[in-house]
């Protein structure tokens, strides 16, 4: 077994459970005979190049324990896209601190960072074990059944849509519609998860639109009108990455990030939720609301899934197990064994199969109209979301005359 120090970083957006994964890596690394010191990157790979490091091995026990129930990214994050001139500097820092174990917690762009650093070190005869820990609320990583962070963000969205739906139901004489926008640039996992807010047919949400399908304005307005006629109001959930047939974002955003991804939400200066709201108002002349949560649901510890917190921690410990074998270039994966009862196992996926790729929601997870979830998706989602509250509704009992 190679001996040396380990470094851990967090990249991309925060989640409710990313710090639980961090705690898992730290605690497992302390027990590893090959790892002599444990450092943390402040602000991801960008901070690492500037030697912004924290000694994680010397943190008080209560701090590490507290990470398991602390949202956001304790180490600070980065969205830096590596360029060729970065690699010699990264290698210099690795050598200076005798770092032989390189852990990053993040999504597909993060897995690409690990892969490229690991390859560069190998090509330059520096022994380094690079291991990825999955993290993204979008749930769009290949190689794993689901990602830590998704279940908690989904639960937060479900509760938002559930409560907003009750508000819309009771206020339908004032506002005829509500549009709720979820994050998810390329996939509709979070949007589709809000289907769990529905208990009976008339409950919100009524319509869900995801980036997996081309957005058709005419069909959308037809669906909306049908729901208003049937229920007296309509609850619409939309993923931020909706596009028209020609590839134009429904949000009308033209801004792009460092990875050439279209910027949605606030950074894109545009909103699909606002635009759908405008379409409904323009077509039917009725009042309505739109609701956009963006990063709020990404670190909502008050609604975090207990299962998610536990699985995130175990992904951290599993990463150290994989690294201890000396095998480099892998990401921890979760493999679902059964839905009922819910059982998973932990394995590994090649970074090359995960990096810079987005896993769409399978087509059979949608209904035939492509505007709601299928039963197959509900079976997949129910164990992840956890127990949901039950609300009541007044019975329409007429008084005696």
Annotation says 138 is catalytic: yes
Average pLDDT along the chain, 401 residues, taken 10 residues at a time: 96 95 98 98 97 98 98 94 96 98 96 97 98 97 98 98 96 97 93 97 97 97 98 97 94 59 54 94 96 91 97 98 97 97 98 94 97 98 96 93 87
- Token pair for residue 112? 């690409």
- Residue 330 sits in a domain of what CATH number? 3.40.50.450
Burial class (CB in 10 A: 0-12, 13-18, 19+), 345: exposed
- Residue numbers of the domain that contains 84: 4-148+302-353
Task: Report the pLDDT value the prediction gives residue 254, as an integer from 0 to 100.
Answer: 47
Query: Both 89 and 184 in a single domain?
Result: no
pTM: 0.94
> How far does the chain reach from its first CA to its final CA, in angstroms?
86
Task: Say which DSSP state 233 is in.
Answer: S
Query: Both 58 and 158 in a single domain?
Result: no
Query: Both 294 and 306 in a single domain?
Result: no
Q: Is the peptide bond before 94 cis (omega within 30 degrees of 0)?
A: no
Please report how the helices 150-170 and 306-324 are oriented relative to each other, as an axis angle in degrees rounded to 10: 160
Query: Both 349 and 371 in a single domain?
Result: no
Task: Report the pLDDT value the prediction gives residue 384, as an integer from 0 to 100.
Answer: 98
Task: Report the pLDDT value the prediction gives residue 89, as an integer from 0 to 100.
Answer: 98
Cβ atoms within 10 Å of 148's Cβ, excluding its own: 33
Burial class (CB in 10 A: 0-12, 13-18, 19+), 36: middle
Task: Say which DSSP state 373 is in.
Answer: B
Neighbouring-strand partners of residue 124:
none
Answer whether residue 186 is part of any domain: yes
Query: Both 255 and 294 in a single domain?
Result: yes
**Residue in 175, 167, 194, 197 with CA at minimum distance from that of residue 183:** 194
Q: How far apart (Å, rounded) are the C-alpha atoms in residues 29 and 133?
A: 14
Q: How far apart (Å, rounded) are the C-alpha atoms in residues 299 and 254?
A: 27
Query: Both 370 and 227 in a single domain?
Result: yes
- Residue 157 sits in a domain of what CATH number? 3.40.50.460
The answer to whether residues 8 and 40 touch, using CB atoms and an 8 Å cutoff, is yes
Query: Both 294 and 269 in a single domain?
Result: yes
Count of domains forming the chain:
2
Given the residues 86, 138, 140, 300, select the one marked as catalytic. 138
Task: Report the pLDDT value the prediction gives residue 262, as an integer from 0 to 100.
Answer: 54
Answer whether residue 394 is part of any domain: no
**Residue in 194, 195, 147 with CA at minimum distance from that of residue 336:** 147
The answer to whether residues 133 and 331 touch, using CB atoms and an 8 Å cutoff, is yes
Query: Both 140 and 110 in a single domain?
Result: yes
The answer to whether residues 90 and 53 touch, using CB atoms and an 8 Å cutoff, is no
E strands within 339-379?
A: 343-350
Answer whether residue 393 is part of any domain: no
The answer to whether residues 331 and 316 touch, using CB atoms and an 8 Å cutoff, is no
Beta-carbon contacts of 277 under 8 Å, excluding residues fewer than 6 positions away, are: 177, 179, 288, 289, 290
Cβ atoms within 10 Å of 22's Cβ, excluding its own: 29
Q: How far apart (Å, rounded) are the C-alpha atoms in residues 282 and 292?
A: 20
Answer whether residue 25 is part of any domain: yes
Beta-carbon contacts of 168 under 8 Å, excluding residues fewer than 6 positions away, are: 175, 177, 178, 204, 233, 235, 289
């Amino acid at each position: 077994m190679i001996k040396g120090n380990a470094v851990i970083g967090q990249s991309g957006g925060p989640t409710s459970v990313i710090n639980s994964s961090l705690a898992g890596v730290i605690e497992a690394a302390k027990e590893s005979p090959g790892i002599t010191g444990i450092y943390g990157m402040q602000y991801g790979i960008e901070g690492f190049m500037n030697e912004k490091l924290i000694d994680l091995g010397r943190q008080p026990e209560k701090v590490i324990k507290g990470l398991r129930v602390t949202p956001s990214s304790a180490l600070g994050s980065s969205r830096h896209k590596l360029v060729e001139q970065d690699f010699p500097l990264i290698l210099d820092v690795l050598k200076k601190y005798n770092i032989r174990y390189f852990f990053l917690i993040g999504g597909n762009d993060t897995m690409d960072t690990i892969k490229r650093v690991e390859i560069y070190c190998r090509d330059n005869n520096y022994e380094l074990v690079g291991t990825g820990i999955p993290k993204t609320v979008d749930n769009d990583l290949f190689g794993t059944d689901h990602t830590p962070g998704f279940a908690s963000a989904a639960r937060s969205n479900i509760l938002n849509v559930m409560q907003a739906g009750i508000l819309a139901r009771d206020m339908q004489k004032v506002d005829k519609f509500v549009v709720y926008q979820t994050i998810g640039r390329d996939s509709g996992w979070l949007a589709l998860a809000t289907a769990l807010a529905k208990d009976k047919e008339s409950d919100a949400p009524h319509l869900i639109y995801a980036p997996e399908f081309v957005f058709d304005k005419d069909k959308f307005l037809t669906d909306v009108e049908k729901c208003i006629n049937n229920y007296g109001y309509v609850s619409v959930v939309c993923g931020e990455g909706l596009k028209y047939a020609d590839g134009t974002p429904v949000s009308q955003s033209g801004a792009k990030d460092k990875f050439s991804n279209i910027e949605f939400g606030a950074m894109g200066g545009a909103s699909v939720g606002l635009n759908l709201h405008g379409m409904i108002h323009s077509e039917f002349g009725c009042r309505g609301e739109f609701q956009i949560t963006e990063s709020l649901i990404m670190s909502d510890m008050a609604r975090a899934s207990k299962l998610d917190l536990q699985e995130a921690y175990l992904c951290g410990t599993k990463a150290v197990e994989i690294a201890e074998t000396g095998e480099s270039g892998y990401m921890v994966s979760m493999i679902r064994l059964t839905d009922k009862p819910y059982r998973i196992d932990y394995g590994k996926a090649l970074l090359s199969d995960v990096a810079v790729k987005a896993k769409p929601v399978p087509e059979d997870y949608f209904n035939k109209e492509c505007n709601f979830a299928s039963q197959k998706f509900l079976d997949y989602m129910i164990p992840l979301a956890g127990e949901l509250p039950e609300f009541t509704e007044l019975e329409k009992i007429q008084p005696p005359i």
